[in-house]
Structure 1
Amino acid sequence: MPYDPSDARSALPGATATATPTGPGAAADHVKFYALPPVVTDGGTRTWYGRSQHLVIGYTDLAGETGFPLPGDSGEHADECAVLMPERSTTAFVTIGGETTEVPGCTLTFIPARAGTVRLSGSGRVITIFTARTAPPQARAANEESYERPHPAVAPLAAWPEPVGGPRLRTYDLDVPGLAEPPFRLFRCSTFMVNYIHPRTGPRDTTRMSPHFHDDFEQCSLVLEGDYVHHLRWPWTTDLSEWRADEHEPVGSPSLTIIPPPALHTSQATGEGVNHLIDIFSPPRMDFSKMDGWVLNAADYPMPEQPESGEAR
């Protein structure tokens, strides 16, 4: 579907393409953390988890101190994980190989696949991101049963090249300019991409919605603040029994919605106050990555080699 001409995504290749149904689409998952008991409680700190096919995402309401072990290198997969702290009132202490690094709030940190620990201190919100194949035991997703069987429309996860200079702790300030419209701040590692969208105040302009779809990857939309409605429409196949009704799902915060391919979707901020939603994709989005200047840490994380023009794809 086309974007509004003022939306930078209107320049993406295939932005006006139409989804080609390949079979029954998976249902969306709306994991409303605010309506669920926490998976982990540590004093006044509470943590919930939700997942997509390739990711396990944690939301922690931090009050004091808590910690968790790092998954390390499984041998088969050496996937990074991440800690995202939207507020300066939180601090992370990451210990790897006996060396501890203090990480301030208002940052996104990619952590290499090494044995170690993360200790969180302060008060505020902390988001943790693991790949599903290396997530630690405590990361039990509320929607785990949705992935008892892999979703066939989602492509397998293949890691992108190692970062320049090899695996190490990398921290990025979130208080930086990104795109103007939409207000994206994009960061990637070798297995996933975080779009830390600027928060907005008040409801979204309903004359400037952005319905679109993804061919073969899920979108993980994490609502940090405010209220939204997720609008979803699945393409019809030739088999009537596979059709799904449209969804217009209201969610509050915090919540995690997993949007499956190839569902047409857009999210509408409805709260009168601050509304803040961020998106996480695995693997990193190639279309965003190809756009010059969009990914703020692109110099650290190379893209896979692309075929020369005219070669088979």
Structure 2
Amino acid sequence: MYGRDDLRTTLAPARSGRVPTAFKKASYALFTGTEPQDASALSRDWYARGQTMIVAYSEAEAGAVFDRADQVDEYAVVLPDEGAELLIEIPEGGETVSGRAIAFVPGGRSRITVVKGGRLLRLFTTRSADLAAKCSNAAAYAEPDPNVAPYAAWPDPVGGRKVRVYSGNVAPQEGRFGRIYRGSTIMVNFGDGRVGPRSPDNLSPHHHDDFEQYSIALDGDYVHHLRWPWISDSTRWIDDDHERIAAPSVAVIPPPAIHTSQGMAPGLNRLLDVFCPPRRDFSLKPGWVLNADDYPMPADDQETGA
């Protein structure tokens, strides 16, 4: 069902075998034009969640500080635009992050200081209960999604505790899908987007058996098209969804809904697709995960030679 020449047609099949008996609807959150969950003189911060992950979107000025005193696990920080700069510090040392970039920050104590203002995303698992409680759509996950597999972190990175920083400007390469980075908790596909509306005759509807997709719209606006399968219990059928939402925003797409996102703006339409925990099928493709040497796959995949 993918679009023409879509490299995802080469992905390994899923291993789930789950048969759904009920479904969850998608959840959407708009990050501007609504009141932020946190606000100060230097930062406005919005929070939204799915079953496994929290998206914290901030518009911050120089001098803003984001502290985590006792973070339960690794989290990711994304600078989506050129011009912004951060200093990320942990007890073992610090790293400067600038331009389009992604950083993975180990659990424990950490501090982010904004050196040059701009937009930033912090991506946490929902094990960070204090942040999960802030989310604008927290009520939507009072009951868990029965189709999302239980969360399990991937192995720790090679080389011990440090802030790991990767450029978001790696050039495209034939045969490689997107610009994918993974940590032990989260995977990010750092895309460039496209200018102008996406052609309605070349969309890429597909589904995931047992994990969510977090489609974070950074620029433009999108229609997120979703369709759920029919099961024997017709009282649990869900109508098709064609949600139009402007950037910046997030769509939490549940399994096993068939979905595709269609950019609609005449200018740049750009998505950041995020998964928690990392995707096995993307990770099995040689060369697709740009920092694979730093973050091992789980032992069962290593033992099979993946």
Matched, 1:4 2:3: yes
2:241 to 247, 250, 255: 247
User: What is the SS of the residue equivalent to 1:231?
Assistant: strand
1:136-215 correspondence to structure 2 within 5 Å: 136-137=130-131, 140-179=134-173, 184-215=178-209
Shift of 1:114: 2.4
Shift of 1:98: 7.2
Contact 2:75 2:185 (C-alpha < 8 Å) held by counterparts: no
Contact 1:187 1:298 (C-alpha < 8 Å) held by counterparts: yes
Question: For residues 141-176 of structure 1, what are the alpha-carbon distances to aligned partners after superposition, in whole Å with 9 as ceiling and x for unaligned?
Answer: 111111112212111111111111123210001011
Identity of aligned residues (%): 40
> For residue 39 of structure 2, what is the amino acid of its counterpart?
T
1:230-241 correspondence to structure 2 within 5 Å: 230-241=224-235
> For residue 148 of structure 2, what is the amino acid of its counterpart?
V
| 2:13 counterpart residue number | 14
Contact 1:235 1:263 (C-alpha < 8 Å) held by counterparts: yes
Contact 1:288 1:295 (C-alpha < 8 Å) held by counterparts: yes
1:3-152 correspondence to structure 2 within 5 Å: 3-14=2-13, 21-70=19-68, 72-74=70-72, 79-97=73-91, 99-134=93-128, 136-137=130-131, 140-152=134-146
Shift of 1:136: 4.7
Aligned equivalents of 2:231, 2:284: Cα separation in 1: 31
Compare 228-237 and 300-309 and name the one that shifted more: 300-309
2:297 to 268, 285, 303: 303
Shift of 1:27: 0.7
User: What is the SS of the residue equivalent to 1:93?
Assistant: strand
Matched, 1:291 2:289: no
Spell out structure 1 runs of 4+ moving beyond 6 A: none
> For residue 126 of structure 1, what is the amino acid of its counterpart?
L
Question: For residues 19-62 of structure 1, what are the alpha-carbon distances to aligned partners after superposition, in whole Å with 9 as ceiling and x for unaligned?
Answer: 97511110100111224201111215311011111111111112
Aligned equivalents of 2:240, 2:163: Cα separation in 1: 42
Change (3 A) 1:234 1:268: same
Alignment TM-score, normalising by the size of structure 2 = 0.92
Aligned equivalents of 1:123, 1:218: Cα separation in 2: 31
Aligned equivalents of 1:147, 1:98: Cα separation in 2: 35
Aligned equivalents of 2:235, 2:6: Cα separation in 1: 36
Contact 1:53 1:150 (C-alpha < 8 Å) held by counterparts: yes
Question: For residues 163-214 of structure 1, what are the alpha-carbon distances to aligned partners after superposition, in whole Å with 9 as ceiling and x for unaligned?
Answer: 1112321000101124558861100001110011112100112221110001
Question: For residues 80-115 of structure 1, what are the alpha-carbon distances to aligned partners after superposition, in whole Å with 9 as ceiling and x for unaligned?
Answer: 111111223211112222744322231100001121
Compare 247-256 and 84-93 and name the one that shifted more: 84-93
User: What is the SS of the residue equivalent to 1:115?
Assistant: strand
Change (3 A) 1:80 1:71: farther
User: What is the SS of the residue equivalent to 1:249?
Assistant: strand
> For residue 8 of structure 2, what is the amino acid of its counterpart?
R
> For residue 56 of structure 2, what is the amino acid of its counterpart?
G
Compare 240-249 and 26-35 and name the one that shifted more: 26-35
Shift of 1:265: 0.2
Question: For residues 256-283 of structure 1, what are the alpha-carbon distances to aligned partners after superposition, in whole Å with 9 as ceiling and x for unaligned?
Answer: 1100000000000011001111111011
Aligned equivalents of 1:95, 1:224: Cα separation in 2: 26
Contact 2:76 2:186 (C-alpha < 8 Å) held by counterparts: no
Aligned equivalents of 2:57, 2:164: Cα separation in 1: 21
> For residue 5 of structure 2, what is the amino acid of its counterpart?
S
Unaligned runs of 5+ in 1: none
| 1:218 counterpart residue number | 212
